[in-house]
Amino acid sequence: MVTVSIITPMRNASRFLTSTIDSVIQAAIEASEDIEWVVFDDASEDDSVNLFQNRKSELKQCQVNLILLQSTEPARGCGFGRNRCVEASKGDFLCFLDADDMMMPRRIKAQLELAQVHPTAIIGSNFSRDPPNSTVRFARWLNGLTEVQLKNQRFREVTIAMPTWFMHRSVFQQQNGFNEGPPGTPEDLIFFYGHTARGGDIVKCNEELMIYRYHEGGQHLSVPADVILEIRAKALEREVLSGWDTFMIWGANKEGKKLYKALSTEARRKVTHFLDVSVRKIGGTITTDNIPVIHFSQARPPVITAVKLDLTGGGFEKNLESMGWTEGIDYYHFG
């Protein structure tokens, strides 16, 4: 009986596959479970399919049954590919792996143990980047999140990187799978916010269990920033702002204005003030609705912050701490 199904959408990944397959073999040996690896080839034009076929028997010797699905239609994107993989799989637990990433030997064993304790959660993990100097702030933020921050900072972005996801099959089924929009659709973000809106748990293993590659062909780079902003803003409205009568936005800056513009008319009406530290902005108004700008020290919660963390030399973080507020009650980060 299959315990874990590894789920991998693939398109033109041949230059990465040798190390990816090697990493799965080592993790399977460590896990000592019955594992299947379901791969959906999304109309690759390189040697990806042959590379898998040539190592099928080697994988079988390590208790990994390879199921290779192929499509000759135009590329349909990662959401479509993952859904086809899950449909063809039998495992109680789903281990998501992008074809260009590598798992550490303990990944399957460690995340399976967590998922058995937290069957309603998306299980993630810390990760290292390849190359190491890529997206340093992003990796530092995700790897440094505490258990409480995994939930409270979810409107900044997905708080556990998609390439580290592991879950019980029922978690996937509750969401009816991934959005099957065309390449460039942030299917992970849509799935994540659907999960949290249902009250689903988010749990992270604090070990580095993945090597997350960054390269120009990465699927995430094709997602337009305005699409991501819109999805985040809608989630913020649905899960937080709908329960607030009024609120303030910290940041009379470009990010604050973008947030305000992304909100619905109903949510905009709840904004009473923008907060800032600039003497040039304080006392004035911004946006076409002429929302007044005041010094942050005059603020009263609740507040949504639209200032990017880790970019002001600690100044913003120090100012926020001085207010004595509680994250997740008095304020949420959006920037």
Segment 78-91, tens digit of pLDDT: 999 999 999 999 99
Q: What is the pLDDT of residue 221?
A: 60
Tokens 């479970």 belong to residue:
33
Q: What is the rounded CA–CA span in Å between residue 171 and residue 10? A: 23
pLDDT value, residue 118: 98
Across 159-179, average pLDDT: 97
Mean pLDDT across the chain, nearest whole number?
95
Q: Which two tokens stand for residue 269?
A: 């009406």
> In the structure, what pLDDT confidence band is assigned to residue 263 with cuts at 50, 70 and 90?
very high
Percent of the chain at pLDDT > 70 equals 98
Confidence (pLDDT) at 277: 97
Of 46-50, 85-89, 233-237, 294-298, minimum mean pLDDT range: 46-50
Q: For residue 266, what is the enclosing H or E element?
A: helix 265-268
Percent of the chain with pLDDT over 90: 90
Confidence of residue 300 (pLDDT cuts 50, 70, 90): very high
The model carries a pTM of: 0.94
The whole-angstrom separation of Cα 249 and Cα 236 is: 13
Task: Report pLDDT for 68.
Answer: 96
Report how far apart, in Å, the C-alpha atoms of 177 and of each of 29, 98, 180, 195, 221 are.
29, 16, 9, 11, 22
Residue range 177-196: average pLDDT?
A: 93
Residue 71's pLDDT is 86
Q: How far apart are CA 212 and CA 195, in angstroms?
A: 23
pLDDT score recorded for residue 37: 98
Q: Helix axis angle, 225-239 relative to 254-262, nearest 10°?
A: 70
Look at the alpha carbons of 218, 222, 226, 230 in this order and tell me if their dihedral is positive or negative. Answer: negative
Predicted local distance difference test score (pLDDT) of residue 218: 60
| Structure confidence by residue, pLDDT tens digits, 14-58 | 999 999 999 999 999 999 999 999 999 998 899 999 999 999 999
Q: What's the pLDDT at 220? A: 57
Q: Map residue 264 onto helix, strand or coil.
A: coil
Instruction: Give the pLDDT of residue 161.
Output: 96
177 pLDDT higher than 70: yes
Q: Kindly tell me if the per-residue pLDDT of 184 is higher than 90.
A: no
pLDDT digits (tens, 9 = 90+) for 213-232: 997 766 556 689 999 999 99
pLDDT over 90 (residue 246): yes
The model's confidence at residue 113, banded by pLDDT at 50, 70 and 90, is very high
